[in-house]
Structures are given as structure tokens and as C-alpha cells.
Structure 1
């Protein structure tokens, strides 16, 4: 079964290489952010597959942290790109 996990990992890494094309060519910042989200999601999947293939449980914790970081990065991008800044930005002191 380890060969299946490693083959799936290789396939996901090939998909990440395809996503890199979108990062470099993306006409908008949203396209680039979606590609970055692809990297985060695929990174989590790769880490989980490697964790199972090598029977290293600590890699699952790293995958969890990467998933949380990807979610926070997406929220930060959305807030910045679509003007959802803090409420005190428009107020004068």
C-alpha cells in the first residue's frame, strides 16, 4: 500500500507544478491567491499521504498547522483585496 501513497504524492506534486504556471501567468491577484490556496491544500494532502506511507504521526500535526496557515492567509488576502479593513480605518481620531 505504500507504493499507492507515494504514487498519489507524486501525482499531487505534478499538479502543484501545473499550479505554478497559474501563479506566474495569473492575470489577477485573485488567480494568484487561488493558486496559493492550491499549494496549501495540496501540501496538506502530500503531508498526510507521506505520514501514512512512512508511519510518522508527527507529520499529521505539521499538516494541520499548514491547513490553518492556508486558511488564515486566504482570510487575510480577502480582507485586504476587497476592502474589508478594520472599522477604525475610516474614522479620524
Structure 2
């Protein structure tokens, strides 16, 4: 049985790799050769996962071969907008 776990900072490189796999599976969205987005994604993951009150939640499944690779992930984010009468905390996600 495969167990899900919370992502750790050591998973960031694999999380970026899985994001690349996702984009490459979409027709017409394969890599443009500009990999700058990968560094930006890694920086954002590091920052958001390291917050005292993280605004990102990531669950991962390790590859069954024990290689350290990830087989899958699910990502949820919390963002903020300006508050309003129906959302006084301004948080959504």
C-alpha cells in the first residue's frame, strides 16, 4: 500500500519536476527551453513552505522503487485579497 505524507523542504526539487511533467503532458505546453520558471517555483515553494503559518499545503506519494523520486503530489494554496462583508478574513483557497 502506498502512503501519502506531507511534503518536506527536501521534496522541492521533485515537486518542480512533477510540475514540469504536468505541463509537458498538455498538448502545446511543453518546455520552451527557458527553465527560469523552475528556479522561481522552487523559491516560492521554499518561502511558502517555510512560513510560520504556511499558506501552502502539499501532500506527496513517494515512488514505489525507493529512488527518492515522487510519484504524485497534490497542492493547495491559501491566498489573501481585501476583506469584504462575505469574507472578513480575506483568505481563500
Q: Same fold (TM over 0.5)?
A: no
Structure ID, larger Rg: 1
TM-score (norm 1): 0.27
TM-score (norm 2): 0.27
Structure in which a larger fraction of residues adopt helix: 1
